[in-house]
Amino acid sequence: MKNTFTRTLILLFPILAIAQTDQKKEINQQLQTWVSINTVTKFADHWAVIGDFHIRRNDFVSDPSFYFIRGGFSYIPNSNVSINAGYAHMWLAPSNPDWSTFADENRIYQQAQLNAKVGNVSILQRIRNEQRWQEKIVNDEPTGDWRFTNRVRYLMSFTFRISDKKSWPQMVLSDEILLQFGKEAVYNTFDQNRFFIGIKQTINPKWSYDFGYMNVYQQKYSGYQYDMNHTIRLFFYLSTSIRKKVPSTTENSGDE
């Protein structure tokens, strides 16, 4: 009865979980590399197919972290707004170095994105909602059980133009907070925070990339264990069209 009451309080007031676990907090420092390609292909004036593929590796590039693929459709009423929905799948590498079984994760997601410009600064805001089914692995074997959570993500990104020359890179500063909910998220309603600083460079009208440092601070299900991931990030972006008209340029920001 006491345990049930405690779990109820934590669900209602997640800060209690932080207070309970703060004294024995364990932080695992990691160096990672994260590379991805993110595509938008317009097939009508206001519609597009979107897709991206991600590889993240630990210990710089020595060990796998995850492989991730996502697809969906985007409704683009104008150059400042887009609404997306689709499906994604992740293959998550085991955290135990003696294990070899990757855990599957299935996702359904919905998102809305707003672009704005103030002077020489482009501002991107994105809210994404994800329904996640994560496979449970015990002793390097699939259990047949799945952990379900609903995760809400909010991203704000600023792109600063530092020169009138289009060939010059732009500076990017962004932060995204991820919160999750569900009966499995007792001690870690806060899932992670992602801070990024780097550059954005246009290669040609179709291709661009951003490159820089991302700090990923993630809380584990135990509530007192954290990963502090110092990540070298390189994301490529491809914007194309199969319409007869030349597509208008829309800003895209994709990450796992």
Q: Could you give phi then psi for residue 251, rounded to 5 degrees?
A: -85, 135
Task: Give the pLDDT confidence of 6-59 residue by residue, as tens digits.
Answer: 444 444 444 444 444 455 889 999 999 999 999 999 999 999 999 999 999 999
Q: Could you give phi then psi for residue 16, rounded to 5 degrees?
A: -65, -35
Region of 58 on the Ramachandran plot (φ > 0 left; ψ -120 to 50 alpha; else beta): beta
Q: Could you give phi then psi for residue 55, rounded to 5 degrees?
A: -130, 125
Measured torsion, CA atoms of residues 134, 137, 138, 139, in degrees rounded to the nearest 10:
-160
Minimal CA–CA distance to 199: which of 163, 159, 164, 230? 159
Q: Which residues pair with 200 in a beta bridge?
A: 170, 210
CA distances from 187 to 19, 129, 149 (A): 10, 20, 13
Q: What's the rounded Cα separation, in Å, for the pair 88 and 105? A: 8
Q: What's the rounded Cα separation, in Å, for the pair 223 and 191? A: 10
Which residues contact residue 56 at a Cβ distance below 8 angstroms, ignoring those fewer than 6 apart? Answer: 32, 33, 34, 35, 65, 66, 68, 231, 256
What is the reported pLDDT for 166? 81
Minimal CA–CA distance to 85: which of 55, 115, 54, 108? 108
**Per-chain mean pLDDT for the chain:** 89
Q: Which of 103-107, 162-166, 191-195, 206-210 has the lowest mean pLDDT?
A: 162-166
The domain defined by 2-241 folds into Porin (2.40.160)
Q: What is the mean predicted confidence (pLDDT) over 219-243?
A: 94
Query: Which stretches does DSSP call E strand in 93-189?
Result: 103-118, 121-138, 141-160, 170-181
